[in-house]
Chains A and B, each alone.
Chain A
Amino acid sequence: MFDYSKYMRNTKLPHIWCPGCGHGIVMKSLIRAIAKTGWEKDDIVVVSGIGCASRLPGYVDFNTLHTAHGRALAFATGIKLAKPEMHVIVVSGDGDSLAIGGNHFIHACRRNIDITLVVFNNGIYGMTGGQYSPTTPDGDRSSTSPLGNMEPEFDVTKIAEGAGATFVARGTSYHVPQLDTYIHKGLEHKGFSVIDVTEACYTTHGRVNKKKYPSNIDMLKFQRDNAIPISKAKEMSEEELEGKIITGIFCEKQKPEFTEKYQKIVDSFSGGGK
């Protein structure tokens, strides 16, 4: 039995997340992945922005930083560049990382800075009560799309890869063993890694779309029934993939990492080379 208490600030529990929320599942997956790296807790920083997922750092026993809405990656970039020996992990919701934090997201990808970003992607602004986000499915109702969402959604993996991230994966809060693997690989990867996790928020999203998601269990079943591994997806047509969740590792490549490149320049000047 895995002992989570070693990694938790046990006195800060219970957490604020609702029954049926995927955040707890992803947090535990993240902890197992961290444990597998064997890193010292002192050497790990977990950074977040604002939102439900962003409360995670308060619960875990690392160096933790709960920043402002959308800005987690900016703070994390400063930490990693100033102290490259730290392992920097960012946890962020879909609104946090893709809407208000979208600019920081693409530039962190471009820099290929050694940070692992886990996107807790439940397709809704949960903390503010269920407004549509950049990943709310087309047509879904929310408190600001009462007639159905009219905006198309972002594909996190495509943005990440296109912007230059060197490790990109997608898992779900249903397929937990695979998620453990993706997060662990992302942590061990040298460079900017993005793990997009499809999750569900029954309280603010499911409840107002009862036809599609009759219960919180149905939201998990939705993940089970609609996830398509990337290998299989490659053989399917665009029409067949409509509404499906493609999972797996989309991109894994080695490219020069930003803080290492920077450190080499700094080191070339130490020892009298000023």
Chain B
Amino acid sequence: MKYEVRFSGSGGQGIILASVILGTASALYENKETVQSQAYGPEARGGASKADVVISNKPIGYPKARAIDAMVCLSQKAATKYIKTLKKGGIVIVDSDFVELPENKKYKMIKLPMSSTTLDRMGKLIALNIVSLSALVTITKVVSHEALEKAVMDSVPKGTEEFNLEALKIGRELAEKSLA
């Protein structure tokens, strides 16, 4: 089984880091075949960028994602650009504070007020990527929460562990609420 996840947003939102953390959780803590890659333009901030994780129980030949099973959209520009890459029946998780997509039978859309909740509960938006990653893991179960937590601890700067654990919690709660 192959599972493809795409994080999309604008430069500076941390979508590459989110994909690296998911990849680390999958590769190192769940021992699955995993390839993480990204595509980006010249801008370090802004623009529409994507970062993908391909997860499989068999060795991965072609390393790029082609039929996205689950996608996170943190900016309108990225959502508009990449929604067509979502596979039929795929899941798209949007930051409903900033992103609108038409309802469509071809995909399952989950709208989460991620920006406003992150800002309310953490006082800043910097952890939006971790919040969205946690929401994605909660909804898709692509890796376990334990693996995700370990990978977050590996990847975030020292001294920000508690902060990022809080972000994981927020994302999980948001997602669980929407599933309930």
Q: Do A and B touch directly, given a CB cutoff of 8 Å in the complex?
A: no
**Residues of A participating in the B interface, judged by any CB pair closer than 8 Å:** none
**Residues of B participating in the A interface, judged by any CB pair closer than 8 Å:** none
